[in-house]
Amino acid sequence: MSGDNSFVVVANRLPVDLHTAPDGTRTWTPSPGGLVAALSPVLEHQQGCWVGWPGVPDEAPEPFRTDAGVLLHPVRLTQGDFEGFYEGFSNASLWPLYHDLIVTPEYHREWWARYRDVNLLFAQEVAEVAAEGATVWVQDYQLQLVPGILRQLRPDLRIGFFLHIPFPGADLFRQLPWREEIIRGLLGADLIGFHLESNARNFLDLCAGTEGLTVSGTAATRRTDAHVTTHDGRSVAVGAFPISIDVDSLGEGTPGGVEKLRAELGDPQTVILGVDRLDYTKGILQRLLAFEELLEAGALEGAVLLQIATPSRERIDQYQVARSQVEEAVGRINGRFGSMGRPVVHYLHQSLPKSQLRTFYEAADVMLVTPFKDGMNLVAKEYVACHPDGSGALVLSEFAGAAVELHQANLCNPFDMESIKRALLTAVQGAPDVMRERMLAMHAQVSEYDVDRWAEAFLSALGEHR
Ligand code: G6P
């Protein structure tokens, strides 16, 4: 059982989603989230094969090659898989647990059974397309059992695993009724990568406290100084590999685009921008409340907030709650502080093309990134990349992984309203040369450590390990 692909990436989602129009016409559109944004250019450079779900239940078109040369291998998930594996165990159990219980995770045996079944399905698909001795790179929390299953099916493969979201402290992780299975699944990999050393340390602590596992070394960035030895004597490397962006994929700015956008917004003094999936981890409500309090105090004269909230996981209760809270706040703030034809919050619950996003990033005087918890947050890096001249200012949550590298940002604690307000005011009113210097330092960081450096660091560590 082997195919002819020497480099295979497997992620829950393909980089494109399948849409079927009422007349039956099928189209593919870019799928949401940072994982896809980061991995697409890597796959294009490697001309690899991408195994994943096309974003709708009960569909699995034939494999096909994209214009950029990536072979897409769709995996079919049933409606039951979608509900139990995707909405259930992945996004209502693991997602809140790994984001430090911002909402309470739910644990259901049926969801877990689906998670196991779907991980088996993904592993079987990979086993079929991967060439003898191929490198397989497994992505994210939806597929944590794949490395272990794949190792049994295809011991010839070189297997890497990367987690795109935070890894919680051992005390939290131990809540999980199926904790041993998840740890064993992950340890099927030759190399396990996290964004931050703190995430890697959490995983190593967990392993150190698990019978039959031995930990040596300490977590390091872009290195694999730490190892876990499994009960059968295999050594698994562990390291931190902070993900980044492909600066080129943001495209060129549209000439006159910024002026046009600012004019559409009523030529405000200050444009403040938020761009997120509509997720309760992102702290969108908190930033709206901070904006509202500053308007109330008369401290943000002539400012508008442009909030892009990409639809996400819309049938899950907690996402519906988050959306209605955000939309209620937008309505209230505009009712209080807007005037005819002049809202103070421009809110779009839509996903926008990259070219338009680029104009928004360029036009924004301040970017607000205020998650309660975030693996990395590539929006912060994209904003910085769009300001090579040092213009603009970034407000960034201390709890976003990006804060480790972008420490020159105006950092805030999103649990503390006064802290968000302080950071926002400093970003708006701070001394221009200080702000410029900070933006330039962050721009240098993002330009040097781009997504190619991330992939190269991970893949060469994986290559050296075996
Ligand atoms: C985050 C996750 C990704 C996920 C993306 C979009 O970035 O780490 O694995 O693909 O969100 O979420 P969705 O549920 O729409 O795939």
Q: Where do the H-state alpha helices sit in 145-233?
A: 146-153, 170-173, 179-186, 197-208
- Sequence letter at residue 226: A
**C-alpha to C-alpha distance for 69 and 46, rounded to whole angstroms:** 9
The predicted-structure confidence for 118-132, as pLDDT tens digits, reads as follows 999 999 999 999 999
**C-alpha to C-alpha distance for 353 and 223, rounded to whole angstroms:** 35
Taking the CA of residue 139 as reference, the ligand 1 atom at the shortest distance is 9
pLDDT at residue number 33: 83
Residue 64 scores a pLDDT above 70 = yes
| For the chain, percent of residues with pLDDT exceeding 90 | 93
Distances (CA, A) of 247 to 186, 275, 378, 452: 31, 17, 11, 10
The predicted-structure confidence for 351-388, as pLDDT tens digits, reads as follows 999 889 999 999 999 999 999 999 999 999 999 999 99
Which of 312, 374, 378 has most ligand 1 atoms within 8 Å of its beta carbon, as the pocket-test mutant?
A: 312
* Residue with CA at minimum distance from ligand 1 atom 3: 35
Residue 466 scores a pLDDT above 70 = no
Taking the CA of residue 164 as reference, the ligand 1 atom at the shortest distance is 8
**C-alpha to C-alpha distance for 96 and 91, rounded to whole angstroms:** 7
At residue 2 the predicted structure's pLDDT band, cuts being 50, 70 and 90, is confident
Note the maximum CA span of the chain. Answer: 70
Mean of pLDDT values over 52-63? 95
Mean of pLDDT values over 340-347? 97
**C-alpha to C-alpha distance for 198 and 167, rounded to whole angstroms:** 8
Cα–ligand 1 centroid distance for 91 (angstroms): 9
**C-alpha to C-alpha distance for 442 and 451, rounded to whole angstroms:** 15
Cα–ligand 1 centroid distance for 221 (angstroms): 24
- Global pTM? 0.97
Residue in 38, 395, 404 with CA at minimum distance from that of residue 200: 404
Mean of pLDDT values over 65-92? 97
Q: If you write DSSP's letter for every residue of 200-211 in order, what string do you get?
A: HHHHHHHHHTST
- Give the other-Cβ count within 10 Å of 174's Cβ: 12
At residue 1 the predicted structure's pLDDT band, cuts being 50, 70 and 90, is low
Residue 32 CB less than 6 A away from ligand 1: yes
Catalytic residues: 164, 374
* Residue with CA at minimum distance from ligand 1 atom 6: 33
Residue 33 CB less than 6 A away from ligand 1: yes
If phi > 0 it is left, if psi is from -120 to 50 it is alpha, else beta; for residue 404 that is: alpha
Mean of pLDDT values over 286-292? 98
Residue in 403, 407, 447, 427 with CA at minimum distance from that of residue 195: 403
Residue 55 CB less than 6 A away from ligand 1: no
* Residue with CA at minimum distance from ligand 1 atom 8: 164
What are the structural domains, with CATH classification, of the chain?
5-244+452-465 (3.40.50.2000), 250-448 (3.40.50.2000)
SS3 of residue 256 by DSSP: coil
Which of 91, 99, 146, 164 has most ligand 1 atoms within 8 Å of its beta carbon, as the pocket-test mutant?
A: 164
Which of 18, 31, 35 has most ligand 1 atoms within 8 Å of its beta carbon, as the pocket-test mutant?
A: 35
Going by their DSSP bridges, the two strands 49-53 and 235-240 should be labelled as unpaired
Mean of pLDDT values over 379-407? 98
pLDDT at residue number 34: 81
Cα–ligand 1 centroid distance for 39 (angstroms): 12
